[in-house]
């Protein structure tokens, strides 16, 4: 089986030092401020990003240990197939968060709506665009009507 | 520097055998049908996914070779900082596409809106939810007003 190797481009700085009481999605982390420190060799890549209000952050869920094919999602009672959930315990533990970009600085970025633990290795930054990745007619399967719960129940 | 290792969970089957004339975003690939074959050990993870109309596919851009901090985006004239673009030539070449889920099968999934080359290694599948990752008030920086161009100009 082919092995794929990546090297972090930066690190998350977050008020959450452990996953305990941490928001499980940016929706739960609205208003929580943090930073992404970008390593010097990648800082030039940040040019032109300051015009975007939101960015997609791909990160390595470095505290994830192993995975099971079926899991009980956060705040839920029924077990669901892993790929139908956002559980951090995945075969390839890559996290995806769309966060608010507050400012681009010479060391990286100030961000808001954090659901990442301090020290999380960052793999990639992409500009967010609803036009590219939004669908009005989506169906949400088992999540339908359950996401409000997440927004309303702050863990911190 | 920490090295992160991932192993593909499956493979994309696409009518596009090379990046030449391939859609550069699902927006350009609307209606194009393909498959994601999931390897046997991960198939149980697909449970409950069939209720979702769209999925997020994270994949390894295996044909990407190297990166530059500043690039000229597809159909554009001005160069832009790499992280403000969706260029496949990134420090960690992870692709992100939100595609239509047509059906879940025992070998994987039929999908639509393909912008991936045949044989692309798949890293992760997540359920798409606009409620989790959508923002009405977004700003699109240099992309503003330019995405329609992408939709209108079919490469195939």
CB within 8 Å of B95: residues ≥ 6 apart: B57, B58, B59, B60, B61, B88, B116, B120
Question: In 3-state terms, what secondary structure has residue A59?
Answer: strand
Q: What is the pLDDT of residues B103-112, one digit of tens each?
A: 999 999 999 9
Please list every residue in chain A whose beta carbon sits closer than 8 Å to the beta carbon of residue B70: 44-45, 47
Find tokens 């989506």 and name the residue.
A138
- Shortest distance between the Cα of B29 and any Cα of chain A, in A, equals 11
Question: Residue A11 above 80 pLDDT?
Answer: yes
| pLDDT on residue A134 | 62
Residue A50 touches chain B, beta carbons under 8 Å: yes
Q: Where residue B154 falls among pLDDT bands split at 50, 70, 90?
A: low
What pTM, to 2 d.p., does this model score?
0.91
Question: Residue A17 above 80 pLDDT?
Answer: yes
Q: Which of A62-66, A122-126, B146-150 has the lowest mean pLDDT?
A: B146-150
Q: Top-level CATH class of A10-152?
A: mainly beta
Question: Residue A151 above 80 pLDDT?
Answer: no
Between A21 and A61, where is the model more confident? A61
The ipTM of this complex is 0.91
Interval A10-31 mean pLDDT: 85
* Contact state of A91 with B9 under an 8 Å Cβ cutoff: yes
Terminal alpha carbon distance of chain B? 41
Query: 95-134 in B: which are within 8 Å (CB) of A?
Result: 96, 98, 100, 121, 123-134
CB within 8 Å of A27: residues ≥ 6 apart: A113, A147, A150, A151, B131, B132
CB nearest A52 (choices: B45, B130, B141): B141
CA angle A87, B5, B121 (to 5 degrees): 80
CB within 8 Å of B145: residues ≥ 6 apart: none
- Work out whether strand B4-6 and strand A94-105 pair parallel, antiparallel, or are unpaired: unpaired
* Contact state of A84 with B127 under an 8 Å Cβ cutoff: yes
| pLDDT on residue A144 | 79
Residue B58, number of CB atoms within 10 A of its CB: 22
A119 torsion bin: left (phi>0), alpha (psi -120 to 50), beta (else): left
Could you give the C-alpha distances from A63 to A118, B14, B141, B151, in angstroms and in order? 11, 34, 34, 39
* Contact state of A48 with B128 under an 8 Å Cβ cutoff: no
CA distance A84 to B129: 11
Among candidates B99, B95, B93, which has minimal Cα distance to B27? B99
Least CA distance to B62: which residue of chain A? Answer: A4
CA distance B127 to B52: 7
Least CA distance to B55: which residue of chain A? Answer: A84
Question: In 3-state terms, what secondary structure has residue A55?
Answer: strand
CA distance B65 to A2: 17
CA distance B5 to A151: 33
Contact call for residues B28 and A131 (beta carbons, < 8 A): no
Between A41 and B128, where is the model more confident? A41
């Amino acid at each position: 089986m082919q092995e794929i190797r990546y090297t972090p481009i930066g690190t998350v700085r977050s008020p959450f030092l452990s996953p305990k009481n941490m928001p499980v999605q940016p929706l739960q982390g609205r208003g929580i401020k943090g930073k992404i420190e970008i390593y010097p060799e990648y800082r030039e890549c940040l040019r032109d990003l300051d015009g975007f209000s939101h960015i997609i952050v791909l990160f390595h869920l470095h505290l994830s240990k192993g995975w099971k094919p079926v899991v009980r999602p956060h705040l839920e009672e029924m077990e669901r197939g892993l790929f139908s959930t956002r559980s951090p315990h995945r075969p390839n533990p890559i996290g995806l968060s769309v966060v608010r970009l507050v400012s681009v600085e010479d060391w990286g970025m100030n961000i808001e709506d954090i659901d990442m633990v301090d020290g999380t290795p960052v793999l990639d930054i992409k500009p967010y665009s609803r036009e590219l990745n939004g669908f009005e007619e989506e169906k949400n399967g088992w999540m339908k009507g359950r996401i409000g719960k997440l927004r309303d129940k702050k863990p911190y």
